[in-house]
Structure 1
Amino acid sequence: MTAIQLYDTTLRDGMQGEGMSLSAEEKLRVAHRLDALGVELIEAGFPSSNPKELELFELLSRETFAHAQIAAFGMTRRRDARAEDDAALRVLVDSFAPVCTIVGKTWSLHLEKVVKVDRDENLRMIEESVAFLVAEGKRVVYDAEHCFDGWHADRDYALRCLRAAAEAGAETVVPCDTNGAHLPGQIATAVADITAHLADTGVRIGIHCHDDAGVGVANSLAAVEAGATHVQGTMNGYGERCGNANLVSIVPNLQLKLGHDCIAPAQLATLTETAHYLDELLNRTPNADQPYIGKNAFAHKGGMHVAGVMADATTFEHMDPALVGNRRELLISELSGKGTVAARAEEAGIALDDAAARRVIERVKELEHRGYHYEAADGSFELLLRKESGEYEQLFTLESWRVIVEQRADGKVETEATIKIWVDGERYVRTGEGNGPVHALDNALRAVLSDTHPHLDDTGLVNFKVRILDETKGTEAVTRVLLDASDGHDVWGSIGVSENVIAASWDALVDSLEYATQAGRETAAPADAATERASS
């Protein structure tokens, strides 16, 4: 099948989304990740639009990439000026980037309202800008802004704009659905027409879509089926308004569903890791429901679904999740059957007979009726499995705990927790201070446990969520606490439910620490994982 050239614009178009910001050093790290993924062209932005971009291009100029080439972005020359005299085009020429992507107008509305030039001058702006860059030794990608709007308003003029770029030497012309207004059938019709019209030029046809109508990925696929062999998009669909077409969905669809050659299979298997890395770097929570790479993309909850998957994965999975670096998740809930429990036990290395599996199911049903939610608390569920199988190792025996919160007249709040616990027949009384009850209790527990379990020094809280389960009872309502912890390598969830929020937090905290100290888990996180977490 056809080889598809991938063009990533995360570092430029993606950063136009709300709340998106990366330092020059962080952008450099993204570029290397995209290179490792197998992206052929990485658009780094305007070389001198601001000090950060200037720094980025300076950093990129000193780097070596195994696969990707860097593209600098700009626009066609100013009206009534020669291309060689245009300062912005001169910046592109002086840039180290071997590829220059320039955007130009196609839609008559923009000619009249924005750039205020006549149609012939616009054609000259396109042709002369491309020709100048090509003469200076640059490979040129021409982005035809609002091309589909222009094609529908005046097909012949839109085609003339694209031909002007192609005949001036652009290696790729890219019709852009800049407003994200079109649907797959419309995109396919236009791209097929453009491909046929420019067949004599030998130029590569691309596609650049936005997701304002929710079909950015579908539009990109439709364009490829109509003849496009160059696809632009962003990681995780980052971008202005509703975002750009999502390369994380486009790539596996093209490669696994349509049979096109995009990246090597080994690179495709890093897709999930790469997509999540970008989210973490941008301090965004990965979308659990994102196709292919989301945590829930291959998650099964209903007992019948799990039974089907265990018999033959293709019954409820459209592909092997490992192909994109993801994995199957068997969610535990009151809907779970024995097969789900058995599979989770096997995954954790726990021997569980049929009788124990049935006890687990009944216990889960009972606890979820009281407000527990094991689907989001894998650590607590594994402890439940261990208790029913006889493999549970109790961390300590509780005698009592107490928390004192004092607010002073100056507004300062201090929290102190005292615990009384028994470990291996010895009684310990410890007091800890912290930023709130949970922190204070955690510090008091670690004061006892860290000596015998040094691995706990590598673990820490990464998320803490509280939910009121019966709002009608107000401050008397039952509270659910979900706690996520990590050792720099794995992340696990634990849960507590109580009418008292501190008691619920204590239960979740104890489960988290007990999970971390179960047999086989007390090994330090890999150094590279810890380094990566710190650098992120």
Structure 2
Amino acid sequence: MNEKLTIYDTTLRDGTQAENFNLSVEDKVRITLKLDELGIDFIEGGWPGASPASTRYFEEIRNYELKHAVVTAFGSTRNFSKPPEEDPNLAALLAAKTRAITIFGKSWDIHVRDALRIELEDNLQIIEDSLAYLRPQVEFLFYDAEHFFDGYKANPQYALQTLERAVAGGAQCLVLCDTNGGTLPGEVATIIGEVSRHLNSLTVKTSVAPRPAEGEGGAELPVELGIHAHNDSECAVANSLVAVSLGVRQVQGTINGIGERCGNANLTSIMPGLALKMKHYFPAAENLHKLTETSRFVSELGNLAHHKYQPYVGQAAFAHKGGIHVSAVKRNPLTYEHIDPERVGNIRRILISDQAGRSNVLHKAKKFGIDLDSKDPLVSSILKKLKELETQGFQYEGAEASFELLMRKALGTCKEYFHLLGYKVISQKDPCALGPEEEVVEEATIRLEVGGELVHTAALGHGPVNALDNALRKALYGFYPQLEQVELQDYKVRVLASEHGTGARVRVLIESSDDDSTWGTVGVSHDIIEASWQALVDSITYKLMKDERQRQAEG
């Protein structure tokens, strides 16, 4: 194992600058506890004093005893017009009562002149004395060198001077920030090499005596380097890994790479790379089996759809579609997987699609409990039917329940629980209605045959599909009361071949659930109501079939 690394998470601060990603104080506390469980070393909670919510988070998190993580307060160097002891920003950082504080300062001369509007030497002074003021009062003190890589490229001498003054002020870690996210890995490698050589040549004396680390008897901690990369050039993960290979010991990022503009360095990709491929140790490396769960937890609390194609933790990260791939993976997963998905808490998935081969079909049959021999002609029949349907626009990757029904129909083992005789859906707009909610009324009428008995019923709904769903359930409840357990969790419509305009086919994907499982079904038609009907019928049929098989197994 290589030298220990420190993982620093800034999801709660930098991550919340992302568009459409908002967290309440309660959400931030829950994520803090989840990251602590994962083994993250430092969790940046926010900028105290920036808002009442930020202040309240630091007050609230003190009520919890974390197992490992250290909560960090974030802020800026002092205002040039005030000495450190009178600066409200530094006062708010200390009032947060965290064991760790991170402050950022300007590394790029253009920011000093145009943003701060002070002299270059003045900026060096506020970096040093801000850190020197905080150092005796905090256990861990980190300095974020904002825009460092751009600053170095514009004026390397001045950028290095800012680091010298941060060292003099007592910073324990100098975090080099690619704030605009435009630096490429080769540039990162070159600049970090120059920084390391420069720092090794320094004989800088700190302005204050360093606070001793616990158990170190007053020995001064070495100044380490850190990396804080943004993803505007799609290089944040690569830049972070390159930085570590060059001796950087603190890696900053966010869960799922969430962050302003194109996001931050993605810790859910960085940590497996560091632990599994570069063989570095850090406490969270022992808990990577919790990584996928943590990733999806953060997405859920941020009310964002989880990124399906994300490396390591995405739903598609270990999904296999081509028949040749499936056949090889079944023999040896290493043929098409760079790691075992279970090492990061993910799972292997075999997809059904128009690229499917016999191996895919047989794999699914086994999963569904269907006894199907590889030489059975039904395998070819199912595969042919599958490809015919997918040319029409059907997709079964998110609708495995519909595919299982397709297979059982081919085998002749799928029971018809009801038979449609006809349906009618009416949408009527009332121009005399007073409010927008009452302007359109939808009613569905349906005729079914259930066990030889005719059923004719109608129902209203919020929209034609909801009305049809209500009418179908109403017609079947008397025969199958267990359908009251079924809830529609998600409903998606995708227009296929949009060049046909309003005459295009649509694909409807429905996700349903009951007390113990969730399943997906699909329908395709030029008529959105008909496509919805197909998916609804499959959903109801799957539920009834599932319950019947369970009763038979228990009996």
2:262 corresponds in structure 1 to 242
1:336 corresponds in structure 2 to 356
Amino acid at match of 1:83: P
Deviation string 1:34-55 (CA, Å, 9 cap, x unpaired) is 2222211111111121122122
Deviation string 1:218-249 (CA, Å, 9 cap, x unpaired) is 00111101111111111111111211111111
SS at match of 2:397: helix
Shift of 1:178: 0.9
SS at match of 1:129: helix
Contact 1:212 1:242 (C-alpha < 8 Å) held by counterparts: yes
Cα 1:106–1:443 shift into 2, 3 Å:
same
1:144 corresponds in structure 2 to 145
Partners of 2:120 and 2:257 lie apart in 1 by 33
Contact 1:301 1:333 (C-alpha < 8 Å) held by counterparts: yes
Identity value in percent: 43
Shift of 1:282: 2.1
Cα 1:282–1:458 shift into 2, 3 Å:
farther
Cα 1:208–1:504 shift into 2, 3 Å:
same
The one of 337, 341, 356 aligned to 1:317: 337
Matched, 1:386 2:398: no
SS at match of 1:43: strand
Shift of 1:461: 2.5
The one of 479, 483, 487 aligned to 2:506: 479
Partners of 1:280 and 1:455 lie apart in 2 by 29
Matched, 1:372 2:372: no
Amino acid at match of 2:256: N
Deviates more, 1:115-124 or 1:388-397: 388-397
Amino acid at match of 1:141: F
Matched, 1:291 2:291: no
Partners of 1:434 and 1:267 lie apart in 2 by 48
Deviation string 1:418-461 (CA, Å, 9 cap, x unpaired) is 22333344443332221112111222222344566565444333
Deviation string 1:464-499 (CA, Å, 9 cap, x unpaired) is 233343545554443322222344765432111223
Contact 2:113 2:120 (C-alpha < 8 Å) held by counterparts: no
Deviation string 1:204-228 (CA, Å, 9 cap, x unpaired) is 2110011111101100111101111
Partners of 1:267 and 1:425 lie apart in 2 by 57
Matched, 1:231 2:251: yes
Matched, 1:222 2:242: yes
SS at match of 2:546: coil
Matched, 1:417 2:439: no
Give the length in aligned residue pairs: 523
SS at match of 2:364: helix
Amino acid at match of 2:199: L
1:357 corresponds in structure 2 to 379
Contact 1:420 1:428 (C-alpha < 8 Å) held by counterparts: yes
Contact 1:192 1:227 (C-alpha < 8 Å) held by counterparts: no
Q: Describe how 1:190-201 pairs up with structure 2 within 5 A.
A: 190-199=191-200
1:530 corresponds in structure 2 to none
Q: Describe how 1:400-411 pairs up with structure 2 within 5 A.
A: 400-410=422-432
Deviates more, 1:274-283 or 1:180-189: 274-283
2:213 corresponds in structure 1 to none
Scaled by the length of structure 1, the TM-score of the pair is: 0.91
Deviation string 1:95-146 (CA, Å, 9 cap, x unpaired) is 1211111001112111211212333322221121112112123421110111
Partners of 1:36 and 1:457 lie apart in 2 by 38
Contact 1:350 1:389 (C-alpha < 8 Å) held by counterparts: no
Partners of 2:533 and 2:409 lie apart in 1 by 19
Unaligned segments of structure 2, at least 5 residues: 203-220, 434-438, 551-555
Deviation string 1:269-314 (CA, Å, 9 cap, x unpaired) is 1212221222222222222211111222122222212222122111
Contact 1:351 1:389 (C-alpha < 8 Å) held by counterparts: no
Unaligned segments of structure 1, at least 5 residues: 524-536
Amino acid at match of 1:409: P
Partners of 1:67 and 1:522 lie apart in 2 by 47
Shift of 1:389: 3.8
Amino acid at match of 1:494: T
Scaled by the length of structure 2, the TM-score of the pair is: 0.88
Contact 1:516 1:522 (C-alpha < 8 Å) held by counterparts: no
Cα 1:135–1:478 shift into 2, 3 Å:
closer
Matched, 1:464 2:464: no
Deviates more, 1:96-105 or 1:29-38: 29-38
Deviates more, 1:30-39 or 1:442-451: 442-451
Contact 2:488 2:510 (C-alpha < 8 Å) held by counterparts: yes
SS at match of 2:306: coil
Shift of 1:251: 1.0
Cα 1:122–1:417 shift into 2, 3 Å:
same
1:157 corresponds in structure 2 to 158
Matched, 1:511 2:511: no
Shift of 1:190: 1.8
Deviates more, 1:373-382 or 1:169-178: 373-382
Partners of 1:211 and 1:338 lie apart in 2 by 41
1:532 corresponds in structure 2 to none
Partners of 1:37 and 1:457 lie apart in 2 by 39
SS at match of 2:269: helix
Matched, 1:211 2:236: no
Cα 1:171–1:500 shift into 2, 3 Å:
same
Partners of 2:500 and 2:170 lie apart in 1 by 71
The one of 387, 399, 420 aligned to 1:398: 420
Amino acid at match of 1:299: A
Cα 1:388–1:205 shift into 2, 3 Å:
same
Shift of 1:508: 0.7
Matched, 1:90 2:91: yes
Cα 1:454–1:168 shift into 2, 3 Å:
farther
Deviates more, 1:215-224 or 1:264-273: 264-273
2:50 corresponds in structure 1 to 49
Cα 1:9–1:362 shift into 2, 3 Å:
same
Cα 1:519–1:490 shift into 2, 3 Å:
closer
Amino acid at match of 1:397: H
Contact 2:11 2:44 (C-alpha < 8 Å) held by counterparts: yes
Contact 1:399 1:420 (C-alpha < 8 Å) held by counterparts: yes
Q: Describe how 1:108-147 pairs up with structure 2 within 5 A.
A: 108-147=109-148
Contact 1:289 1:297 (C-alpha < 8 Å) held by counterparts: yes
Contact 1:403 1:437 (C-alpha < 8 Å) held by counterparts: yes
Cα 1:20–1:193 shift into 2, 3 Å:
same
Cα 1:472–1:260 shift into 2, 3 Å:
closer
Cα 1:515–1:195 shift into 2, 3 Å:
farther
